[in-house]
Amino acid sequence: MWLNIPILTLLFLDVIYYQGYVTRLIHLPVKYLVILSLILSFILAKANKSKAYVFAIILFTLYVLALTVEGVTHQGFVYEVVHLRPESMFLFLLPTLFFLLSRVINSKLNLLIGLSLIYYFLRLTPIVTVQLTSSTREIIRAPIASYDHKMRLNWGGFYDFTKLVNRVTLDDSVIAIPPRSSQHPLIGNSSFFWYFIYPRTLLSLPLQVEDFGNATFTIINGTDPIWPNISFPTKHLWLYRDGQPVVEYQDILYDPADTRFQGGMDIAELEDKL
């Protein structure tokens, strides 16, 4: 027991300071300390403290509470209030809870069962807690939110941009989009973009645009590099920037070098072909 206490105390320092503090202090990865503590608890198990499990349950409950509070507020909230880091608690709690278990149970097989359950809940509880709090937080914030509000929560400004596209184009419009690539993950994925703007037709063009084919509109994606990267005259052009009013131009020449078109998402109506 007295061999384990200093190790657990050392592991607790990471919870107080930061993850990696102990490694810097002793020049040894923390996982070796965790393994050493687990082995000591396993070998030296002695069931003489029947109430140790109560302390273990309290510790685990506090851990879940810390995760929940962090989930409903913001990351770093628990540290700001009590100077403890929930994200560093796993490597402290795993050997600590097992140590407490080794004070209640003697049987080696039962200790292994206990260890597997402690590991299971410590690894998976944070995930479930985050999932639980992130969803319920939105319900509390906006209990009667509209479909648009919920979609905006999922897809941010991109959703508002799709609403703009629906507003300024007709159902039978053909809209040119960039090719599917990491530079255009949302707008370039025709299957995805289509969900929002159906029944309009999407025309996926290459990175180097030469011709807009039968498209009547085109998307302008102001990422770096900007797409499309050629100049062309437009009948209408709508600039969309998150949280700002839409800016509309008429009969304007689109130029990829023009800074107005960079860093946002725009839609332009192409001039009729002769």
Partner 1 sequence: MRLAISYLLGLSLLTLLMFGTNLLGLPLNTTNSLLLFALTIIPLIILYPHLPSTPKISTSPSKLNKILKGIILVLSLVVLLNDSYRIVGEWDSLTLYDFRARRIVETGSIAKAAEIQGSYFYSYPLFTSLFHSFTYLLGFSSPMLIYGLIFISFLTIFYSLLRTHANEFLSLLGTILLIFAPHLFWHAQIAYTNLAYATYLSLGALFLLEWKDNKSTIFAILGMFFTGTSVWVRSTEPFWLGNLLLFLVIGVSNFRFKDIFYGLLFFYPLQQLWKRYVAAMFHNVESTVSQIQGSVATVATAAIQPTFLQLLSDTIVFFTHSIVRPYAPVLLLFAISLLMQLTKRRLSLFLISLIIFDLLVSFIGTYVFAITQSYWREIPGSLERMMMFISPLIIYVFIITIDSTKKNYGQ
CA 207 centroid distance within chain? 29
Is residue 31 near partner 1 by the rule CB under 8 A? no
Phi first, then psi, for residue 150 (nearest 5°) are: -70, -40
In the complex with partner 1, the residue whose CB is nearer, 2 or 147, is: 147
Is residue 50 near partner 1 by the rule CB under 8 A? no
Shortest distance in whole angstroms from residue 53 CB to partner 1: 10
Q: Which is it for strands 217-221 and 247-250: parallel, antiparallel or unpaired? A: unpaired
Is residue 61 near partner 1 by the rule CB under 8 A? no
Q: Which is it for strands 217-221 and 174-177: parallel, antiparallel or unpaired? A: parallel
Shortest distance in whole angstroms from residue 120 CB to partner 1: 4
**Binding string, 94-113, against partner 1, x = CB under 8 A?**
-------------x-xx-xx
b/e map 151-160, b = 16+ CB within 10 Å: bbeeeeebbb
Shortest distance in whole angstroms from residue 125 CB to partner 1: 7
In the complex with partner 1, the residue whose CB is nearer, 133 or 234, is: 133
| Rounded Cα–Cα distance for residues 263 and 176 (Å) | 19
Is residue 138 near partner 1 by the rule CB under 8 A? yes
| Rounded Cα–Cα distance for residues 177 and 221 (Å) | 9
| Rounded Cα–Cα distance for residues 138 and 154 (Å) | 11
Shortest distance in whole angstroms from residue 187 CB to partner 1: 14
Among 48, 135, 250, 259, binds partner 1 (CB under 8 A): 135
Shortest distance in whole angstroms from residue 127 CB to partner 1: 8
In the complex with partner 1, the residue whose CB is nearer, 125 or 262, is: 125
Is residue 151 near partner 1 by the rule CB under 8 A? yes
| Rounded Cα–Cα distance for residues 110 and 104 (Å) | 10
* DSSP H or E run through 100: helix 90-101
| Rounded Cα–Cα distance for residues 154 and 156 (Å) | 6
Shortest distance in whole angstroms from residue 45 CB to partner 1: 16
Kindly state the tokens that stand for 93.
Answer: 């709690």
Mapping DSSP onto H, E and C, the string for 139-183 reads HHHCCCCCHHHHHHHHHCHHHHHHHHHHHHCCCCCEEEECCCCCC
Is residue 124 near partner 1 by the rule CB under 8 A? yes
In the complex with partner 1, the residue whose CB is nearer, 77 or 192, is: 192
* Cα–Cα distance list, 223 to 154, 172, 263 (Å): 21, 27, 5
**Binding string, 174-203, against partner 1, x = CB under 8 A?**
---------------x-xx-xxx-x-----
In the complex with partner 1, the residue whose CB is nearer, 32 or 198, is: 198
Among 132, 164, 207, 252, binds partner 1 (CB under 8 A): 132
Kindly state the tokens that stand for 239.
Answer: 């600039």
Is residue 150 near partner 1 by the rule CB under 8 A? yes
Which residue type does 27 have? Answer: H
**Residues forming the site for partner 1 (CB under 8 A):** 107, 109-110, 112-113, 116, 119-121, 123-125, 127-128, 131-132, 135-136, 138-139, 143, 145, 147, 150-151, 153-155, 189, 191-192, 194-196, 198
